Structure formats: C-alpha cells, structure tokens
A and B are shown apart, each in its own frame.
Chain A
Amino acid sequence: NAGVTQTPKFQVLKTGQSMTLQCAQDMNHNSMYWYRQDPGMGLRLIYYSASEGTTDKGEVPNGYNVSRLNKREFSLRLESAAPSQTSVYFCASSEGRVSGANVLTFGAGSRLTVL
C-alpha cells in the first residue's frame, strides 16, 4: 500500500506564481488534511476535509485554497505565491470522526521555496 502520496516533492516558485500540490490516499479514509511545517513552529493546519464534499479552514488558511476532488484526493492551491509560504507541506489522512483515536497518516512532504 502506498498510503498517502503527495506531489511534487520539491518545487521552486517565483513570487506571484501559482501552483497546486496534489495528495491521494489509498486507505479509504474519510478525512484529509493539509499542514505546513516551519522551523520552530511545528505542524500548523491549513485546511481539512472531514469527508468527501466538505472542506474547512484550519489555523492558517490565508493564501491557500483546497479541493476535495473525491474520497481519495485532496489538493492544495497557492494562487499567488509569497515568500512567507516557503515551507514544507504535509498532506495527511485519517478515518475521521468515525474513529475515536483518529490517528493521522502523513505523506512524505512537499518542500516549497518561493523566491
């Protein structure tokens, strides 16, 4: 099983450019998440999708949009990249509310640099 797959692994953008990070999971999980991780800041939730067809803002949603394309896929879009969005982005999935524990499985991460 691949688990959670996200692409691309690395990306360099210029300020103002747009891009989409793709994420897919093959565990039939209901919920999916996008986090960013910056040095000293820990994991911060950008957006999440509790189930197919729903999306909600997390702690740091400004400058991002998301699409839950189907149960497997959850994409993150930067419409006009800014240097402050330089970060490592992690996609994650979990069973969601149906699971008392709600353990997250993470993708390998996407390292984004905005110049």
Chain B
Amino acid sequence: RKEVEQDPGPFNVPEGATVAFNCTYSNSASQSFFWYRQDCRKEPKLLMSVYSSGNEDGRFTAQLNRASQYISLLIRDSKLSDSATYLCAVRTSGGSYIPTFGRGTSLIVHP
C-alpha cells in the first residue's frame, strides 16, 4: 500500500457544485497534513494545512479523520478557477520531517 493515496480523477463538476476529495495515508504516526494546489504547468502551492479539529478557509473545508486515516478537502460553490490538481501531503512524526505527497486529484469545473 502506498504511503499516501489519492484518486487521480478527474472530477468533472459544473460551476456551483460542491465536490470533495479524500486522501488516505498508511502511517498512523502521521502528524501534519496539508493540501496543495497545482495549476496546469505550474508549481504546487500550499492551499491549506489540515488541523485535527478541521478548518475552513472561505469555500474550502479540510477535515482529518485519524481513525480511518484520511484527510478530505471539500470545495463549495465551485468556480471555473478552481480547476487544478489538488495534492495532499503528509508528514510523519519521529522520522523524516519531509512530507510525502500524493499523486494528486484533478478537478475540472465546467460552465
């Protein structure tokens, strides 16, 4: 089993839709969790960190489920500009401080 797994998609949704992605991780000692956004032919950029209690940033909500070992990203009221690849990243405590990235989930928002 890969350390960090994501459904590659693409998720194809109309403007205004709500869409959610999950990212599963295999190491129960994982400590820090992040969502990065990568636009086509651009570099990944931090979208948001994921906190234990869940957190929201505008239309974006991130959740952590430690029992089932996954994080989620919910996007409400999707915009055309949300079309991108969303990468999750997980850092494990006690070992390398370097986060491991998932392969990304592609989102396409259409008119």
Residues of A within 8 A of B (CB): 31, 33, 40-43, 45, 48, 58, 90, 96-97, 100-109
* Residues of the B chain whose Cβ atoms lie less than 8 Å from the Cβ of A107: 43
The count of residues in chain B whose C-beta lies closer than 8 Å to any C-beta of chain A is 20
* Residues of the B chain whose Cβ atoms lie less than 8 Å from the Cβ of A97: 97
Q: How many A-B residue pairs have CB under 8 A?
A: 47
Tell me which of B12-20, B74-82, B99-107 binds A. B99-107
Bound together, the chains give a CA A40 to CA B101 distance in angstroms of 13
Bound together, the chains give a CA A100 to CA B101 distance in angstroms of 17
Bound together, the chains give a CA A40 to CA B8 distance in angstroms of 8
* Residues of the A chain whose Cβ atoms lie less than 8 Å from the Cβ of B103: 40-42
Cβ-defined partner of A96 (8 Å) among B43, B89, B97, B102: B97
* Closest partner residue, chain B, to A108 (CB atom): B43
| CB of A34, distance to nearest CB on chain B (Å) | 12
15 contacts between A and B (CB under 8 A): A43-B101, A58-B98, A90-B44, A96-B97, A97-B97, A101-B32, A102-B99, A103-B46, A103-B49, A104-B44, A104-B89, A106-B45, A107-B43, A108-B42, A109-B41
Residues of B within 8 A of A (CB): 8, 32, 34, 41-46, 49, 87, 89, 91, 97-99, 101-104
Cβ-defined partner of A90 (8 Å) among B43, B98, B102, B104: B43
Given contacts A96-B97, A97-B97, A101-B32, contact A109 B104 (CB under 8 A): no
CB of A45 within 8 A of CB of B98, answer: yes
CB of A102 within 8 A of CB of B42, answer: no
CB of A42 within 8 A of CB of B97, answer: no
